[in-house]
Amino acid sequence: MQNSGMAHERTNSYLIDSVRVFHNYKNLADRAMAQVPDEALTTTLDAESNSIALIVKHMSGNMRSRWTDFLTTDGEKPDRHRDTEFESPAMTRAELSAQWEAGWKCMFDALAALSDTDLERTVEIRKQPHSVMQAINRQLTHYAYHVGQIVFLSKHFAAAKWTTLTMPRKKPQV
Protein backbone atom coordinates (compact mmCIF):
# COMPACT_ATOMS: atom_id res chain seq x y z
CA MET A 1 0.00 0.00 0.00
CA GLN A 2 1.24 3.45 -0.89
CA ASN A 3 -0.25 6.26 1.16
CA SER A 4 0.69 9.71 -0.05
CA GLY A 5 -1.47 11.29 2.65
CA MET A 6 -1.92 14.97 3.14
CA ALA A 7 0.85 17.39 4.06
CA HIS A 8 2.86 16.15 7.02
CA GLU A 9 5.27 19.04 7.21
CA ARG A 10 4.12 22.06 9.18
CA THR A 11 4.05 25.30 7.29
CA ASN A 12 2.65 28.76 7.84
CA SER A 13 2.41 29.35 4.10
CA TYR A 14 -1.05 28.93 2.65
CA LEU A 15 0.48 28.69 -0.84
CA ILE A 16 2.92 25.93 0.07
CA ASP A 17 0.18 23.97 1.81
CA SER A 18 -2.27 24.47 -1.07
CA VAL A 19 0.24 23.26 -3.63
CA ARG A 20 0.91 20.16 -1.51
CA VAL A 21 -2.82 19.43 -1.25
CA PHE A 22 -3.29 19.88 -5.03
CA HIS A 23 -0.37 17.47 -5.59
CA ASN A 24 -1.99 15.00 -3.21
CA TYR A 25 -5.28 15.04 -5.12
CA LYS A 26 -3.51 14.72 -8.47
CA ASN A 27 -1.53 11.79 -7.11
CA LEU A 28 -4.71 10.06 -5.90
CA ALA A 29 -6.32 10.43 -9.31
CA ASP A 30 -3.16 9.33 -11.14
CA ARG A 31 -2.89 6.18 -9.03
CA ALA A 32 -6.59 5.44 -9.40
CA MET A 33 -6.65 5.88 -13.19
CA ALA A 34 -3.55 3.69 -13.52
CA GLN A 35 -5.64 0.77 -12.23
CA VAL A 36 -8.40 1.17 -14.84
CA PRO A 37 -8.44 -0.88 -18.05
CA ASP A 38 -8.12 1.42 -21.08
CA GLU A 39 -11.63 0.71 -22.37
CA ALA A 40 -13.15 1.70 -19.02
CA LEU A 41 -11.76 5.24 -19.23
CA THR A 42 -14.56 6.22 -21.61
CA THR A 43 -17.28 4.07 -20.05
CA THR A 44 -20.21 5.66 -18.20
CA LEU A 45 -22.30 3.97 -15.54
CA ASP A 46 -25.53 5.30 -17.07
CA ALA A 47 -26.79 7.90 -19.54
CA GLU A 48 -26.62 10.72 -16.97
CA SER A 49 -23.13 10.06 -15.64
CA ASN A 50 -19.70 11.06 -16.86
CA SER A 51 -16.81 8.81 -17.76
CA ILE A 52 -13.35 9.26 -16.30
CA ALA A 53 -12.29 10.72 -19.66
CA LEU A 54 -15.05 13.33 -19.56
CA ILE A 55 -14.17 14.31 -16.00
CA VAL A 56 -10.52 14.67 -17.04
CA LYS A 57 -11.53 16.78 -20.07
CA HIS A 58 -13.68 19.01 -17.86
CA MET A 59 -11.01 19.42 -15.19
CA SER A 60 -8.36 20.18 -17.81
CA GLY A 61 -10.58 22.77 -19.46
CA ASN A 62 -11.34 24.33 -16.11
CA MET A 63 -7.65 24.42 -15.17
CA ARG A 64 -6.66 26.05 -18.44
CA SER A 65 -9.40 28.65 -18.09
CA ARG A 66 -8.90 29.43 -14.42
CA TRP A 67 -5.11 29.46 -14.26
CA THR A 68 -4.04 31.01 -17.58
CA ASP A 69 -3.17 34.66 -16.85
CA PHE A 70 -4.59 34.01 -13.38
CA LEU A 71 -3.92 37.43 -11.86
CA THR A 72 -4.81 39.53 -14.91
CA THR A 73 -7.82 38.02 -16.70
CA ASP A 74 -11.19 36.59 -15.71
CA GLY A 75 -10.92 32.92 -14.80
CA GLU A 76 -13.73 32.09 -17.21
CA LYS A 77 -12.01 32.63 -20.54
CA PRO A 78 -14.14 33.68 -23.54
CA ASP A 79 -12.84 30.72 -25.59
CA ARG A 80 -13.91 28.18 -22.98
CA HIS A 81 -17.04 26.28 -23.91
CA ARG A 82 -17.76 24.35 -20.71
CA ASP A 83 -20.61 22.27 -22.13
CA THR A 84 -18.33 20.78 -24.79
CA GLU A 85 -16.07 19.48 -22.02
CA PHE A 86 -18.76 16.86 -21.47
CA GLU A 87 -18.73 15.70 -25.09
CA SER A 88 -16.26 13.72 -27.20
CA PRO A 89 -13.57 12.86 -24.66
CA ALA A 90 -10.03 11.80 -25.53
CA MET A 91 -10.24 8.22 -26.71
CA THR A 92 -6.80 6.88 -25.83
CA ARG A 93 -4.95 6.78 -22.53
CA ALA A 94 -2.09 8.74 -24.12
CA GLU A 95 -4.43 11.54 -25.28
CA LEU A 96 -6.15 11.58 -21.91
CA SER A 97 -2.83 11.72 -20.08
CA ALA A 98 -1.58 14.60 -22.25
CA GLN A 99 -4.75 16.57 -21.58
CA TRP A 100 -4.59 15.82 -17.84
CA GLU A 101 -0.92 16.76 -17.49
CA ALA A 102 -1.37 20.00 -19.50
CA GLY A 103 -4.17 21.13 -17.18
CA TRP A 104 -2.21 20.42 -14.00
CA LYS A 105 0.93 22.05 -15.45
CA CYS A 106 -1.03 25.22 -16.17
CA MET A 107 -2.29 25.28 -12.58
CA PHE A 108 1.03 24.44 -10.91
CA ASP A 109 2.89 27.01 -13.05
CA ALA A 110 0.38 29.70 -12.04
CA LEU A 111 0.67 28.82 -8.36
CA ALA A 112 4.48 28.77 -8.53
CA ALA A 113 4.44 32.36 -9.80
CA LEU A 114 2.49 33.57 -6.74
CA SER A 115 3.84 34.86 -3.47
CA ASP A 116 2.13 35.08 -0.10
CA THR A 117 1.59 38.80 -0.71
CA ASP A 118 -0.58 37.92 -3.74
CA LEU A 119 -3.15 36.16 -1.56
CA GLU A 120 -5.08 39.34 -0.87
CA ARG A 121 -5.13 40.49 -4.48
CA THR A 122 -8.44 40.35 -6.30
CA VAL A 123 -9.10 38.11 -9.28
CA GLU A 124 -12.33 37.53 -11.15
CA ILE A 125 -14.11 34.30 -11.96
CA ARG A 126 -17.20 34.78 -14.10
CA LYS A 127 -16.98 38.51 -13.40
CA GLN A 128 -17.25 37.90 -9.64
CA PRO A 129 -14.41 39.22 -7.47
CA HIS A 130 -12.46 36.74 -5.34
CA SER A 131 -9.35 37.14 -3.26
CA VAL A 132 -6.58 34.94 -4.61
CA MET A 133 -7.02 32.77 -1.51
CA GLN A 134 -10.76 32.40 -2.22
CA ALA A 135 -10.04 31.50 -5.84
CA ILE A 136 -7.53 28.84 -4.77
CA ASN A 137 -10.03 27.43 -2.25
CA ARG A 138 -12.74 27.37 -4.91
CA GLN A 139 -10.54 25.34 -7.24
CA LEU A 140 -9.21 23.09 -4.49
CA THR A 141 -12.73 22.01 -3.52
CA HIS A 142 -13.79 21.69 -7.16
CA TYR A 143 -10.86 19.44 -8.03
CA ALA A 144 -11.26 17.36 -4.85
CA TYR A 145 -14.90 16.75 -5.84
CA HIS A 146 -13.93 15.48 -9.29
CA VAL A 147 -10.95 13.47 -8.03
CA GLY A 148 -13.41 11.70 -5.73
CA GLN A 149 -15.49 10.84 -8.78
CA ILE A 150 -12.43 9.55 -10.62
CA VAL A 151 -11.42 7.40 -7.65
CA PHE A 152 -14.96 6.03 -7.29
CA LEU A 153 -15.18 5.13 -10.98
CA SER A 154 -11.67 3.71 -11.03
CA LYS A 155 -12.41 1.48 -8.05
CA HIS A 156 -15.64 0.32 -9.71
CA PHE A 157 -13.92 -0.55 -13.00
CA ALA A 158 -10.83 -2.12 -11.40
CA ALA A 159 -13.12 -4.29 -9.24
CA ALA A 160 -11.25 -7.12 -7.51
CA LYS A 161 -7.92 -5.89 -8.93
CA TRP A 162 -8.23 -2.59 -7.03
CA THR A 163 -5.32 -1.63 -4.80
CA THR A 164 -6.26 0.82 -2.09
CA LEU A 165 -4.89 4.35 -2.36
CA THR A 166 -5.05 5.26 1.31
CA MET A 167 -5.80 3.31 4.47
CA PRO A 168 -7.02 -0.20 3.71
CA ARG A 169 -10.13 -1.52 5.40
CA LYS A 170 -9.48 -3.70 8.39
CA LYS A 171 -9.74 -7.35 7.51
CA PRO A 172 -11.78 -9.56 9.81
CA GLN A 173 -9.66 -11.48 12.29
CA VAL A 174 -9.73 -15.21 11.64
Distance, CA of 10 to CA of 37 (rounded, Å): 38
- Topology classification of domain 14-161: Four Helix Bundle (Hemerythrin (Met), subunit A) (1.20.120)
Query: Which pLDDT tens digit goes with each residue over 70-117?
Result: 999 999 999 999 999 999 888 899 999 999 999 999 999 999 999 999
Query: Which pLDDT tens digit goes with each residue over 8-50?
Result: 677 789 999 999 999 999 999 999 999 999 999 999 999 999 9
User: Length of the chain in residues, anyone?
Assistant: 174
pLDDT band at 150 (very low <50, low <70, confident <90, very high): very high
pLDDT band at 173 (very low <50, low <70, confident <90, very high): low
Q: What is the pLDDT of residue 169?
A: 79
Q: Is the pLDDT of residue 141 over 70?
A: yes
| Other CB atoms within 10 A of residue 146 CB | 18
pTM of the model: 0.90
Q: What is the pLDDT of residue 3?
A: 46
| Domain assignments of the chain as residue spans, ordered by start | 14-161
Distance, CA of 140 to CA of 174 (rounded, Å): 42
pLDDT band at 172 (very low <50, low <70, confident <90, very high): low
The residue that leads in pLDDT, 166 or 64, is 64
Distance, CA of 65 to CA of 67 (rounded, Å): 6
